[in-house]
């Protein structure tokens, strides 16, 4: 690590972004207990570029921030001086409904974008739970956030078609374009997906859109056992249904497999019938009301550690069993949800101590990395993160990952230490 | 310094095919190519060419052509002379899209560009222009089975069949094969196109098979020590049965709808005479008067596919003569390999002043038996034959003649028939004329592949329209320790018309 | 290392059958599907295992020898064009399907496996592999990966990059990495797989690829509609998309194309100004409903004839006609120059008119076949190489078409890739900074620039340089030093 001069003042920043748009940081701006000095909000790509150039020259560690909903993703930062907020870059640059493409500035809240698109009966096919808490589009891309609808529409990586980024030395570059089919040059849009701000700041994004479905219905089956969960999921996967989401919910209060079916009314009708027919062998089948759906929503307060397990989708039963086993042995009652058709399972733990949680993560990591999967700690107190590394091993990819980081951010000022591989 | 044999210098010839610059564009000069061709034509007939080979880089045996010196003083040896060479226009039809690659059996086996139609055409193009004929080129052309799956697959309509036949002709005349190779090929062609000789030569086979001599030799390990090609031939030999003769004229059953000529074939009449007998019976049952001239000989298919042009022309003329005054409406053939050549008589004899017109008339009448039966429309009653049969498309029927649907229709018109499709149907079984005798290794691989696909259909018998395919697939099955009865579609139809039970088809070799 | 040494080294890795060194045979590898550029490689090698690939690449790395990987050689941008004094690594012998995993809806294949084989392999289980470029019967999965191939169904189903779950890659220094999840989704770390797909063989060689397979749809309905001209047909397309229908495929062909295709494969298409082939698939109830709607929209737009495919055979015939379009051009013209431009769908009408005007201006015929749903057009400039000057004119016209598309907000290439052919246009679409930043990625993978060098980027950058605007060093800024 080279020596860094950090004797910069607020005025230095205000000179770039304007007096009202740079301030001293407060405790709320801390990330995993690491307190930055300043927060700056550039209003354009040019200001972002100048800001980063300045930061690079002064050796400031920078964390780009959208809605701040994923601030606790990853390991604690090694150091942090400046939070670069995209809060002012919220425009829809261009929306051509006939092309099913939208171009936006990265700071726009996903919620706002969806509302705007709904006016043309279109949507961006991504529904991360953080939408409600103010997640921005840039943040969704940087964190590779996704929700249940990834079953049908893919993750943000499958929806992004163009990007403008600002690198740590101020270089502004774009890749992709505003057409869905484009193989000119490298697909940097994808490279930046999930990069958690470690390669640069995402300033603008272009996405492909989908028509907003007219009707929706959720069909659910009560599960008697984890075995039933796995088998039911397989039946649905191999049927000729096109559900928007296939979710498993497992907790003391409810054990369900739910299917979200969307489309035109006759299609929804027919598919719901088929789904009910296919699932009836596994338990009681019913349609969920809005209230019930709401109750199933993502975590409320109270859980301390959130974990994500990726495994081959056919091993759903195994995942559930391993989770329940690891937790029960330590007296923890987990709340489990998952995208049953994809192989991603979320675990919310509460009611025990860090040691127990750590053991659970280690045990699960042991099992699932051997089966080709991974276990990632999504949210946890900083102290816990000292004990357990958030991402898990990168294996043969480590070297290459480091080289990529080195090329894009040679001085290592972008979110140092937060990413996989200690980057 | 004698530079006659140096490779052409791109800077001097300006020939873009010698391009080594990464961004050099393909330009059409025109003049260089024409000079080369002119030189070739000036050579006159093959007898004028000096016997000494003028060695060039690397290769041992060279073309015996002579070229014209260019300004730089080096000789050009186009591989082909004007006799005719594969046509430039046809070669130019190829746009290099590669759609032929996955259907080419040799590309499927070897994965090398030159063992694909696209690569072979490329070599032909080079042979027209400036590359001499050398061992490698000939090898790649020899490995081509002539199955014409590529013709079916090609969206640009490249007539690869015409190209490879012209190429083979050139190879036979201008390339000196190794002595054992020459002798072996000569032996095949002294034997197979002559049914009487074939009969005599294979008479001892009956005893050989009756006494299981082959198995004894195999158990004793002697078979393995035989040269590969002898082994291949031994493996291919069918079970000899009593031969059935076809009468000169056969009357129709009931009302006479047509008068048709019938071609007996060579391998067909010696080894599979029951197929001929069945064909005549079926044609007669469908109301045809069948004329099978006694004087008919070989159609020349094996010869033309191997590039032996003169031999082919002799056979073709004789066959046309044999059918001269028969006044038949159609000429029916039951062997796919022969059928495809017969239909091309007009093209192949186009330069023969005496026979061109007669060849055209002849070719126009040729019909494969399944094709003909469907065209005629069935009248004879078909009795049920409840059996699952795998239908194998012979390349010369499916690819060369485009006859796929008719044999299947013929089978499906028999009540109770379950026609099974074979996976990888478009890939040749490896028989390919004499290919399985001269190139036993790739032929074995292809044969085994086909046999496996056939076994996987779960059918109880195989139906196919070519004697070569029959021999090949049966040999592979035997090698794998299986056996499956085989029949020609017309034999199956014959059994159905005669009301025979399914066992007659199953109780056969 | 001199040539003989190299040949020996390669033969010791692959055995004699795996190395081609004779000039006449090297010739047949001098170009891929694009015949305009030819370079004879120094050597051609045909590995059969990943380990052999590693050893070959390692040797190249140590000796500083550039290499190019090639699949079936059907690419249309010269991506597999050999490099001067370089080795051509032909992957066509690595063609085993290694694993079929229906419960997890994935298949693991070697790169030489042909696209169509994947679908054939899983057909009996009711699955198929969705990306279906027109070359699917011969192009290899490795090649599809390199070019991020699309196909007629990519509007709804996406491209190769949306169907690759993982890959084992030999990096240009001979080391092996596993990128992407493979068995499980969301592997931690950078989205290296996403960057690798579509990198045109410049970042490494994939030796094992995990593909996602998709359940065959419950219902498929296909129609062919005839229109007076492309404008009318375009109106129908807008109507269909505007109605919120996402067709599985929606293709358009103009009169010249229809003529060529009819001569080649005789699909029996109506000989009109433009035809549209629309395919809908999905759950039966939805398809039925939306198909009716589509028929209505075609009628509203004055379709002179609408044919609905009655069965699989007829449907296959429609598609055969469409997929043979390029190669069929050979029937009506000696040569053609195929373009692969993309424009936003809403600009399609304007651009087509512009292309037709350009064609008239140049006095050359331009046939059009394109993926109407996503604006990816393939103008085919027809010419005769035997007429002096025509080839150059064709190229110039093609260039003008490319510029037109860029002007309307499009891209240089939708599916064929940049390769060798479109390098020169890259600066028209991207700034120097854009290109430099992309090359940062290349430097991370291939610092010695030996992996398919010279493709995509018109000006290669040395990996030591840093991109970006000039800025003063802080010490300099403080007035403590001067720039010399």
Do A59 and A143 share a domain, yes or no?
A: no
Nearest to B137 among C24, C46, C327 (CB): C24
A261 falls within a domain: yes
Residues of chain A above pLDDT 90, percent: 82
Q: Is B383 exposed, middle or buried (0-12, 13-18, 19+ CB in 10 A)?
A: middle
A174 falls within a domain: yes
Using a CB–CB cutoff of 8 Å, tell me whether B89 touches chain C. Answer: no
- Contact assessment for residue A345 and residue A309, using Cβ atoms and an 8 Å cutoff: yes
Rg, chain C, Cα only: 24
Whether C474 has a pLDDT exceeding 50, the answer reads no
Q: Do chains C and B touch (3 or more CB pairs under 8 A)?
A: yes
pLDDT of the residue at B209: 75
C333 → chain B, closest CA residue: B93
pLDDT of the residue at B130: 67
Do A412 and A364 share a domain, yes or no?
A: no
Q: What is the pLDDT of residues A196-216, one digit of tens each?
A: 999 999 999 999 999 999 999
Q: Quick one: angle between helices A226-238 and A265-279, nearest 10? A: 140
State mean pLDDT over C249-262. Answer: 90
Do A103 and A198 share a domain, yes or no?
A: yes
Nearest to A344 among C186, C416, C468 (CB): C186
pLDDT of the residue at B269: 84
Domain holding A350: CATH number? 3.30.70.600
pLDDT of the residue at A340: 95
Do A273 and A248 share a domain, yes or no?
A: yes
For chain B, give the number of residues. Answer: 509
State mean pLDDT over A17-40. Answer: 93
Asked whether the beta carbons of residue A191 and residue C376 sit closer than 8 angstroms, the reply is no
Q: What is the pLDDT of residues A273-298, one digit of tens each?
A: 999 999 999 999 999 988 888 777 66
A397 falls within a domain: no
Nearest to B111 among C46, C83, C265 (CB): C46
Whether A371 has a pLDDT exceeding 50, the answer reads yes
In this predicted structure, which of B55-69, B350-364, C146-160, C291-305 has the lowest mean pLDDT? B55-69
pLDDT of the residue at C371: 87
State mean pLDDT over A313-324. Answer: 95
pLDDT-based confidence at B182, cuts 50/70/90? Answer: confident
Minimal CA separation from B131 to chain C, in Å:
8
- Contact assessment for residue B184 and residue B177, using Cβ atoms and an 8 Å cutoff: no
CA dihedral sign, ordered C90, C93, C96, C98: negative
Q: Where in chain B is the domain with CATH 1.10.1060?
A: 10-176
In this predicted structure, which of A113-117, A419-423, B49-53, C288-292 has the lowest mean pLDDT? B49-53
Place of tokens 């109750």: A295
Using a CB–CB cutoff of 8 Å, tell me whether B22 touches chain C. Answer: yes
- Contact assessment for residue C103 and residue C57, using Cβ atoms and an 8 Å cutoff: no
pLDDT-based confidence at C151, cuts 50/70/90? Answer: confident
User: Residue B187 CB: number of other CB atoms within 10 A?
Assistant: 14
State mean pLDDT over A69-89. Answer: 93
Closest C-alpha to B14, from B3, B23, B6, B25: B25
pLDDT of the residue at A77: 93
Scanning A199-228 for CB atoms below 8 A from C yields: 199, 210-212, 214
State mean pLDDT over B275-303. Answer: 92
Using a CB–CB cutoff of 8 Å, tell me whether A120 touches chain C. Answer: no
Who has greater pLDDT, C4 or B192? C4
Neighboring chain A residues of C154 at a CB cutoff of 8 Å: 181
Using a CB–CB cutoff of 8 Å, tell me whether C376 touches chain A. Answer: yes
pLDDT of the residue at B40: 34
Beta-carbon contacts of residue B56 (< 8 Å; ≥ 6 apart): B5, B7, B62, B77, B132, B134
Do A206 and A112 share a domain, yes or no?
A: yes
Element (H, E) at A264: none
Element (H, E) at C132: none
Neighboring chain C residues of A373 at a CB cutoff of 8 Å: 181, 183-184
Whether C181 has a pLDDT exceeding 90, the answer reads no
- B neighbours by CB contacts (3+ pairs under 8 Å): C
State mean pLDDT over A316-332. Answer: 93
Using a CB–CB cutoff of 8 Å, tell me whether C194 touches chain A. Answer: yes
State mean pLDDT over B160-181. Answer: 87
C417 → chain A, closest CA residue: A183
Domain with A285, as residue range(s), is: 215-295
Using CA atoms, how far apart are residues C242 and A208, in angstroms rounded to an integer?
15
State mean pLDDT over A41-66. Answer: 95
Q: What is the pLDDT of residues C96-108, one digit of tens each?
A: 999 999 999 999 9
pLDDT of the residue at A302: 58
Is 1.20.1050.140 the CATH classification of the domain at B380-506? yes
pLDDT of the residue at A299: 54
State mean pLDDT over B122-150. Answer: 86
Strands of the sheet containing B486-487, edge to edge, are: B417-421, B387-392, B461-464, B486-487
Q: What is the pLDDT of residues B468-507, one digit of tens each?
A: 888 899 899 988 999 889 999 999 999 999 999 888 888 7
Using a CB–CB cutoff of 8 Å, tell me whether A392 touches chain C. Answer: yes
Q: Which residues pair with A220 in a beta bridge?
A: A258, A286
Return the number of CB contacts < 8 Å for A and C: 295
Domain holding A105: CATH number? 3.30.465.10
pLDDT-based confidence at C476, cuts 50/70/90? Answer: very low
Q: What is the pLDDT of residues C213-227, one digit of tens each?
A: 999 999 999 999 999
Q: Where in chain B is the domain with CATH 1.20.1050.140?
A: 380-506
B139 → chain C, closest CA residue: C25
Closest C-alpha to C355, from C371, C334, C379: C379
Using CA atoms, how far apart are residues C294 and C222, in angstroms rounded to an integer?
10
pLDDT of the residue at B15: 43
Q: Is C259 exposed, middle or buried (0-12, 13-18, 19+ CB in 10 A)?
A: middle
pLDDT-based confidence at C190, cuts 50/70/90? Answer: very high
Do A132 and A23 share a domain, yes or no?
A: no
Return the number of CB contacts < 8 Å for B and C: 124
Do A246 and A314 share a domain, yes or no?
A: no
Domain at B10-176, CATH from 3.30.70, 1.10.1060, 2.60.120, 1.10.287? 1.10.1060
A398 falls within a domain: no
Minimal CA separation from C354 to chain B, in Å:
28
Closest C-alpha to C259, from C368, C418, C168, C165: C368
Asked whether the beta carbons of residue A170 and residue C371 sit closer than 8 angstroms, the reply is no
C391 → chain B, closest CA residue: B27
Mutate to test the interface with B, among C3, C134, C330 (most CBs of B within 10 A): C330
In this predicted structure, which of C50-54, C135-139, C426-430 has the lowest mean pLDDT? C135-139
Do A157 and A265 share a domain, yes or no?
A: no
Nearest to B111 among C74, C81, C92 (CB): C92
Listed residues A262, A295, A328: the one ending a domain: A295
CATH of domain B249-374: 1.20.1050
Whether C269 has a pLDDT exceeding 50, the answer reads yes
CA dihedral sign, ordered A27, A28, A29, A34: positive
pLDDT of the residue at B65: 34
pLDDT of the residue at B16: 37
- A neighbours by CB contacts (3+ pairs under 8 Å): C
Do A275 and A329 share a domain, yes or no?
A: no
Q: Do chains A and B touch (3 or more CB pairs under 8 A)?
A: no
Asked whether the beta carbons of residue C184 and residue A403 sit closer than 8 angstroms, the reply is no
Domain holding A248: CATH number? 3.30.70.610
> Which two tokens mark A179?
């057409």
Neighboring chain B residues of C385 at a CB cutoff of 8 Å: 26, 28
Using CA atoms, how far apart are residues B473 and C347, in angstroms rounded to an integer?
58
Considering its fold, how many domains does chain A have in total?
4
Q: Do chains A and C touch (3 or more CB pairs under 8 A)?
A: yes
pLDDT of the residue at A319: 95
Minimal CA separation from C42 to chain A, in Å:
27
CA atoms within 13 A on the CB side of C464: 0
Minimal CA separation from A269 to chain C, in Å:
9
In this predicted structure, which of B37-41, B458-462, C384-388 has the lowest mean pLDDT? B37-41
For chain A, give the number of residues. Answer: 423
DSSP assignments along A387-405, one per residue:
HS-SS---GGGHHHHHHHH
Do A316 and A387 share a domain, yes or no?
A: yes
Which segments of B266-312 are extended strands (E)? Answer: 288-291
State mean pLDDT over A151-162. Answer: 96
- Contact assessment for residue A310 and residue C185, using Cβ atoms and an 8 Å cutoff: yes
pLDDT of the residue at B509: 54
Whether B218 has a pLDDT exceeding 90, the answer reads no
Q: pTM for this one?
A: 0.85
Nearest to C444 among A179, A311, A404 (CB): A404
State chain B's mean pLDDT as an integer.
Answer: 80
Neighboring chain C residues of A168 at a CB cutoff of 8 Å: none
Domain holding A82: CATH number? 3.30.43.10
C29 → chain B, closest CA residue: B113
Listed residues A211, A239, A259: the one ending a domain: A211
- C neighbours by CB contacts (3+ pairs under 8 Å): A, B
State mean pLDDT over C44-73. Answer: 96
State the complex-level ipTM. Answer: 0.94
Q: Which domains does chain C have, with CATH numbers?
A: 3-90 (3.30.43.10), 97-215 (3.30.465.10), 218-332 (3.30.70.2190), 333-429 (3.30.70.2740)
Closest C-alpha to C425, from C306, C342, C363: C342
Minimal CA separation from C37 to chain B, in Å:
5
Closest C-alpha to C31, from C82, C72, C96: C82
State mean pLDDT over B78-86. Answer: 77
Using CA atoms, how far apart are residues C55 and C67, in angstroms rounded to an integer?
13
- Contact assessment for residue C78 and residue C419, using Cβ atoms and an 8 Å cutoff: yes
Listed residues A177, A211, A245: the one ending a domain: A211
**Count H helices, E strands: chain A?**
14, 19
Residues of chain C above pLDDT 70, percent: 95
pLDDT of the residue at B208: 75
C409 → chain A, closest CA residue: A178
Do A272 and A368 share a domain, yes or no?
A: no
Q: Which residues pair with A249 in a beta bridge?
A: A256, A337
Using a CB–CB cutoff of 8 Å, tell me whether B10 touches chain C. Answer: no
Secondary structure of chain C: what % helix, strand, coil (to 5)? Answer: 40, 20, 40
Closest C-alpha to B62, from B150, B133, B145: B133
């Amino acid at each position: 690590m080279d020596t860094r001069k950090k004797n910069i003042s607020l005025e230095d920043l205000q000179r770039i972004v304007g007096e009202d748009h740079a301030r001293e940081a407060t405790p709320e701006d801390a990330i995993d207990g690491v307190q930055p000095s300043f927060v700056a909000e550039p209003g354009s790509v040019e200001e972002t570029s100048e800001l980063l150039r300045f930061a690079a020259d002064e050796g400031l560690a920078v964390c780009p921030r959208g809605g701040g909903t994923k601030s606790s993703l990853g390991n604690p930062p090694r150091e942090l001086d400046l939070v670069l907020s995209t809060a002012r870059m919220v425009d829809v640059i261009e929306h051509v409904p006939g092309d099913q493409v939208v171009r936006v500035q990265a700071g726009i809240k996903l919620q706002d974008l969806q509302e705007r698109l709904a006016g043309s009966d279109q949507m961006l096919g991504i529904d991360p739970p953080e939408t409600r808490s103010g997640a921005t589009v840039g943040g969704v891309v940087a964190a590779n956030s996704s929700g249940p609808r990834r079953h049908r529409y893919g993750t943000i990586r499958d929806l992004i078609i163009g990007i403008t980024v600002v690198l740590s030395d101020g270089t502004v570059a774009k890749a992709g374009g505003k057409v869905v089919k484009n193989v000119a040059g490298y697909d940097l849009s994808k490279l930046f997906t999930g990069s958690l701000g470690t390669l640069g700041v995402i300033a603008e994004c272009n996405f492909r859109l989908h028509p907003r479905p007219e009707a929706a219905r959720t069909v659910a089956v009560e599960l008697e056992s984890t075995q039933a969960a796995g088998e039911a999921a397989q039946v649905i996967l191999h049927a000729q249904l096109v559900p928007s989401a296939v979710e498993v919910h497992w907790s003391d209060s409810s054990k369900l497999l739910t299917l979200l079916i969307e489309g035109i009314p006759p299609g929804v009708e027919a598919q719901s019938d088929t789904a009910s027919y296919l699932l009836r062998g596994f338990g009681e089948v019913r349609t969920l009301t809005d209230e019930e759906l709401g109750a199933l929503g993502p975590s409320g307060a109270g859980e301390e550690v959130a974990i994500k397990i990726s495994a081959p989708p056919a091993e759903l039963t195994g995942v559930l069993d391993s989770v329940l086993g690891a937790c029960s042995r330590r007296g923890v009652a987990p709340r489990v949800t998952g995208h049953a058709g994809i192989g991603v399972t979320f675990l919310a733990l509460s009611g025990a101590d860090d040691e127990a949680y750590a053991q659970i993560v280690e045990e699960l990591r042991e099992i699932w990395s051997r089966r080709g999967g991974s276990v990632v700690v999504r949210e946890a107190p900083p102290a816990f993160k000292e004990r357990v590394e958030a991402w898990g091993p990168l294996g043969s990819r480590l070297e290459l990952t480091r080289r990529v980081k080195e090329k894009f951010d040679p001085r290592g000022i972008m979110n140092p230490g937060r990413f996989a591989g200690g980057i | 310094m004698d530079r006659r044999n140096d490779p052409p210098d791109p800077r001097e010839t300006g020939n873009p095919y010698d391009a080594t610059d990464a961004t050099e564009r393909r330009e059409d000069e025109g003049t260089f190519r024409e000079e080369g061709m002119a030189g070739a034509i000036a050579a006159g007939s093959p007898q004028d060419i000096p016997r000494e080979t003028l060695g060039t880089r690397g290769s041992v045996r060279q073309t015996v052509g002579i070229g014209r010196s260019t300004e730089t003083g080096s000789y050009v040896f186009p591989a082909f002379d004007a006799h005719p060479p594969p046509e430039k226009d046809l070669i130019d039809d190829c746009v290099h899209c590669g759609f032929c690659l996955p259907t080419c059996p040799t590309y499927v086996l070897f994965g090398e560009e030159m063992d694909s139609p696209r690569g072979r055409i490329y070599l032909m193009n080079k042979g027209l222009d400036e590359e001499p004929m050398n061992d490698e080129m000939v090898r790649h052309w020899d490995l081509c089975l002539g199955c014409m799956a590529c013709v079916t697959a090609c969206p640009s309509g490249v007539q690869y069949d015409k190209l490879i036949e012209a190429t083979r002709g050139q190879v036979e005349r201008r390339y000196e094969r190794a002595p054992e190779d020459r002798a072996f090929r000569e032996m095949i062609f002294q034997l197979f196109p002559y049914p009487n000789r074939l009969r005599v030569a294979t008479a001892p086979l009956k005893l050989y098979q009756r006494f299981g001599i082959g198995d004894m030799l195999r158990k004793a390990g002697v078979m393995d020590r035989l040269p590969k090609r002898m082994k291949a031939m031994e493996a291919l030999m069918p079970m000899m049965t009593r031969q059935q003769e076809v009468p000169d004229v056969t009357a129709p059953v009931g009302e006479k709808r047509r008068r048709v000529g019938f071609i007996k074939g060579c391998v067909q009449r010696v080894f599979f005479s029951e197929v001929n007998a069945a064909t005549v019976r079926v044609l007669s049952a469908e109301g045809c008067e069948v004329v099978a001239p006694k004087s008919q000989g070989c159609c020349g298919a094996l010869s033309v596919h191997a590039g032996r042009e003169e031999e082919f022309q002799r056979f073709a003329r004789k066959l046309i003569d044999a059918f001269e005054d028969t006044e038949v409406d159609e000429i029916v053939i039951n062997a796919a390999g022969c059928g495809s050549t017969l239909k091309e008589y007009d093209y192949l004899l186009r330069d023969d002043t005496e026979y061109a017109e007669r060849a055209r008339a002849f070719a126009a009448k040729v019909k494969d038996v399944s094709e003909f039966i469907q065209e005629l429309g069935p009248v004879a009653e078909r009795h049920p034959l409840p059996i699952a049969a795998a239908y194998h498309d012979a390349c010369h029927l499916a690819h060369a003649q485009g006859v796929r649907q008719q044999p299947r229709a013929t089978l499906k018109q028999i009540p109770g028939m379950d026609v099974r499709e074979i996976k990888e149907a478009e890939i040749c079984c490896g028989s390919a004329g004499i290919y399985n005798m001269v190139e036993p290794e790739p032929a074995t691989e292809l044969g085994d592949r086909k046999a496996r696909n056939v076994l996987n259909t779960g059918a109880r018998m195989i139906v196919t329209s070519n004697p070569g395919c029959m021999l090949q697939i049966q040999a592979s099955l035997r090698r794998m320790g299986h056996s499956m009865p085989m029949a020609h579609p017309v034999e199956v139809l014959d059994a159905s018309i005669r009301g025979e039970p399914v066992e007659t088809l199953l109780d056969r070799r | 290392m001199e040539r003989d040494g190299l040949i020996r080294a390669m033969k010791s890795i692959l055995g004699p059958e795996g190395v081609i060194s004779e000039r006449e045979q090297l010739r047949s590898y001098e170009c891929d599907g694009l015949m305009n550029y030819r370079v004879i490689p120094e050597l051609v090698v045909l590995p059969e295992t990943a380990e052999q690939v590693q050893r070959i690449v390692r040797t190249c790395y140590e000796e500083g020898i550039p290499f190019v990987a090639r699949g079936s050689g059907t690419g249309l941008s010269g991506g597999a064009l050999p490099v001067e004094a370089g080795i051509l690594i032909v992957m066509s012998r690595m063609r085993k399907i290694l694993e079929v995993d229906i419960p997890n809806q994935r298949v693991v294949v070697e790169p030489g496996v042909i696209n169509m084989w994947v679908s054939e392999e899983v057909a009996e289980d009711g699955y198929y592999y969705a990306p279906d470029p027109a070359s699917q019967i011969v192009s290899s999965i490795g090649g599809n990966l390199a070019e991020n191939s699309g196909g007629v169904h990519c509007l709804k189903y996406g491209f190769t990059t949306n169907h690759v779950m993982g890959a084992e890659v030999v990096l240009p220094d001979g080391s092996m990495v596993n990128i992407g999840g493979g068995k499980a989704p969301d592997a931690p770390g950078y989205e290296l797989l996403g960057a690798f797909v579509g990198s045109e063989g410049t970042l490494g060689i994939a030796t094992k690829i995990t593909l996602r397979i998709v359940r065959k749809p419950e219902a498929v309905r296909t129609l062919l509609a005839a229109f007076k001209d492309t404008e009318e047909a375009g109106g129908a397309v807008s109507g269909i998309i505007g109605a919120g229908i996402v067709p599985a495929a929606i293709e358009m062909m103009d009169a010249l194309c229809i003529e060529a295709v009819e001569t080649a494969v005789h699909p029996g298409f109506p000989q009109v100004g433009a035809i549209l082939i629309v395919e809908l698939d999905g759950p039966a109830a939805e398809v039925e409903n939306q198909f009716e709607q589509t028929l209505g929209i075609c009628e509203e737009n004055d379709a002179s004839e609408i044919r609905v495919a009655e069965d699989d055979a007829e449907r296959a015939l429609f598609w055969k006609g469409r997929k043979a379009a390029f190669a069929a051009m050979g029937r009506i013209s000696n040569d053609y120059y195929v373009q692969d431009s993309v424009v936003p769908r809403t600009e399609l009408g304007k651009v087509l008119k512009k292309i037709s005007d350009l064609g008239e201006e140049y006095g050359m015929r331009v046939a059009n076949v394109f993926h109407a749903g996503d604006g990816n057009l393939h103008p085919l400039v027809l010419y005769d190489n035997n007429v002096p000057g025509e080839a150059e004119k064709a190229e110039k016209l093609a260039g003008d078409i490319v510029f037109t598309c860029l002007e309307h907000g499009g891209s240089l290439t939708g599916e064929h890739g940049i390769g060798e052919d479109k390098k020169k246009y890259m600066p028209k679409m991207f700034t120097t900074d854009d290109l430099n930043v992309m090359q940062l990625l290349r430097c991370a993978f291939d610092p010695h620039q030996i992996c398919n060098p010279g493709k995509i980027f018109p000006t290669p950058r040395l990996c030591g340089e840093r991109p970006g605007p000039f800025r003063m060093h802080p010490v300099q800024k403080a007035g403590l030093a001067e720039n010399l």
